Amino acid sequence: AQSVTQPDIHITVSEGASLELRCNYSYGATPYLFWYVQSPGQGLQLLLKYFSGDTLVQGIKGFEAEFKRSQSSFNLRKPSVHWSDAAEYFCAVDSGEHGSSNTGKLIFGQGTTLQVKP
């Protein structure tokens, strides 16, 4: 069965420092991968997605993620974190059921809470 693991439940970084949030997935075929961000009391906003092609994906708010098939990973990165990036981040994989490679039916990781120190 497909699964997503985010090993870090909570991460604290200083403002201006670089950030990497880890995500590992378990999936038999070519995965469709996503990163969403959730600010407190808000819904989920898509940061970026990977479907195919270039393994380095650029997203909104200066985020990027790299798909590494050999490591079954899709880590999220940002070179310089801003205080407004404090939020919860979710990695997800499309379950790809019913013969479609992209159903929108997502399996989410448990999330990583990012705290930014001034």
Partner 1 sequence: DAGVIQSPRHEVTEMGQEVTLRCKPISGHDYLFWYRQTMMRGLELLIYFNNNVPIDDSGMPEDRFSAKMPNASFSTLKIQPSEPRDSAVYFCASSFSTGTGFPDFGPGTRLTVT
Binding site for partner 1 (CB under 8 A): 34, 36, 42-46, 49, 51, 90, 97-98, 100-111
Bridge partners, 94 (sequence order): 106
Pick 13 or 109: Cβ nearer partner 1: 109
Residue 45 CB-half CA count within 13 A? 14
Nearer to partner 1, 51 or 72 (CB): 51
- In the complex, the smallest distance separating the C-beta of residue 44 from partner 1, rounded to whole angstroms, is 4
Of 111, 114, 117, 116, the C-alpha closest to 44 is 111
Which residue, 15 or 88, has its beta carbon nearer to partner 1?
88
